[in-house]
């Protein structure tokens, strides 16, 4: 009964969407975003990483990634809903705002800033979301307009309600690990999965986890798309799993896998364990595998 109740809680979560501008997609190339910005819809662009003052997409608002993260000792931890509410209101966002997230584009790791904020915004009820593939560096490489003008926006009175349809908590993960019902995906590079490297209190990975490094999602600094991404996901992820949970060290790289599997791959009921190994490893009673003593 406990197992069935948890799976029902995780699966039966209503998801509602609003109409997106024509040409919208979860992952946009620079030319696609340029065309959308030239259209009639008012689109909010958030500049998450890199030096905003040195240049950004015209109309983009500075939204430093750090404000969406937890404390240093547990960076994957979610800020309080009251704090997230303040942030989205000050950024001029409400549930119907078409929102494009732009990372600096310094590399594949940097993409995690955009995917983690995408996951956060979707959980807050913002439905029309996209990420610029390759980030601001790709925009610059396409020789599209850049400005140093600071953009100010009017605050909204948006009152988001957290939707747990995309999240697995530590308590839920404890049950899933014990019961073995979920497809658990470690997004870290293989040495972390194997317990050869660590940035948490303990090395190793979650029992039952498979390894799909976030690096497999990329060609250079750009995320794979289309048939190439589909073939890679289909070879690594079971589409008929009742639940898929991604994780990493702090929910940054895990959000890249979540985005690829859920938003691009269209796999149902894919979740992110936001606090990931950093929080899991804080309790020595929580089981791990591939710990150095086991090797």
- CA 196, CA 82: separation in Å to the nearest integer? 39
Cβ-count burial of 284 within 10 angstroms (0-12 exposed, 13-18 middle, 19+ buried)?
exposed
Q: At what angle do helices 170-179 and 2-11 cross, to 10 degrees?
A: 130
* Domain spans of the chain, in order of start: 14-141, 164-294
Q: Residue 231 above 60 pLDDT? A: yes
What is the pLDDT at residue 112?
98
- CA 89, CA 80: separation in Å to the nearest integer? 14
What architecture is domain 14-141? 3-Layer(aba) Sandwich (3.40)
Q: Residue 8 above 60 pLDDT? A: no
For residue 125, name the pLDDT band (cuts at 50, 70, 90).
very high
Mean pLDDT of 213-238: 96
CB 126 within 8 A of CB 55: no
Q: Residue 246 above 90 pLDDT? A: yes
Average pLDDT, the chain: 93
What is the pLDDT at residue 232?
94
For residue 293, name the pLDDT band (cuts at 50, 70, 90).
confident
What is the pLDDT at residue 18?
52
Q: Residue 5 above 50 pLDDT? A: no
Q: Tell me: the pLDDT tens digits for 170-207?
A: 999 999 999 998 999 999 999 999 999 999 999 999 99
Residue 59 tokens, joined? 């109309």
Helices (H), ranges, the chain: 2-11, 30-37, 81-90, 111-123, 135-141, 170-179, 190-193, 226-236, 253-258, 276-280
Q: Tell me: the pLDDT tens digits for 16-53?
A: 445 789 999 999 999 999 999 999 889 999 999 999 99
- Which positions ≥6 away from 227 have C-beta within 8 Å? none
What is the pLDDT at residue 11?
40
Q: Residue 233 above 50 pLDDT? A: yes
Domains 14-141 and 164-294 share a fold: yes
Percent of the chain with pLDDT over 90: 91
* Other residues' Cβ atoms within 10 Å of the Cβ of residue 173: 22
What architecture is domain 164-294? 3-Layer(aba) Sandwich (3.40)
Mean pLDDT of 91-99: 96
């Amino acid at each position: 009964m406990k197992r069935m109740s948890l799976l029902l809680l995780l699966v039966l979560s209503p998801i509602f969407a609003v109409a997106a501008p024509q040409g919208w997609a979860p992952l946009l190339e620079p030319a696609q975003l340029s065309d959308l910005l030239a259209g009639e819809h008012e689109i909010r662009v958030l500049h998450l990483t890199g030096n905003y003052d040195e240049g950004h997409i015209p109309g983009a608002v500075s939204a430093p990634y750090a404000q969406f993260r937890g404390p240093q000792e547990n960076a994957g931890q979610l800020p309080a809903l009251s704090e997230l509410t303040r942030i989205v209101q000050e950024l001029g966002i409400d549930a119907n705002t078409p929102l494009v997230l732009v990372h600096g584009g310094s590399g594949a790791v940097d993409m995690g800033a955009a995917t983690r904020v995408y996951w956060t915004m979707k959980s807050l009820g913002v439905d029309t979301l996209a990420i610029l593939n390759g980030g601001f560096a790709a925009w610059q490489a396409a020789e599209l307009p850049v400005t140093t003008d600071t953009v100010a926006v009017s605050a909204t009175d948006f009152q988001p309600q957290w939707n747990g349809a995309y999240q697995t908590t530590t308590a839920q993960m404890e049950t899933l690990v014990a019961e073995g019902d979920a497809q658990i995906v470690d997004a870290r590079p293989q040495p972390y999965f194997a317990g050869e490297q660590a940035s948490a209190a303990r090395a190793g990975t979650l029992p039952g986890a498979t390894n799909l490094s976030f690096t497999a999602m990329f060609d250079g600094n750009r995320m794979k798309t289309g048939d190439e991404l589909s073939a890679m996901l289909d070879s690594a992820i079971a589409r008929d799993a009742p639940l898929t949970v991604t994780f990493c060290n702090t929910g940054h790289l895990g959000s890249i896998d979540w985005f690829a599997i859920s938003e691009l791959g269209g796999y149902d009921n894919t979740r992110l364990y936001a606090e990931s190994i950093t929080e899991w490893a804080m309790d020595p009673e929580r089981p791990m595998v591939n710990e150095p003593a086991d090797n």
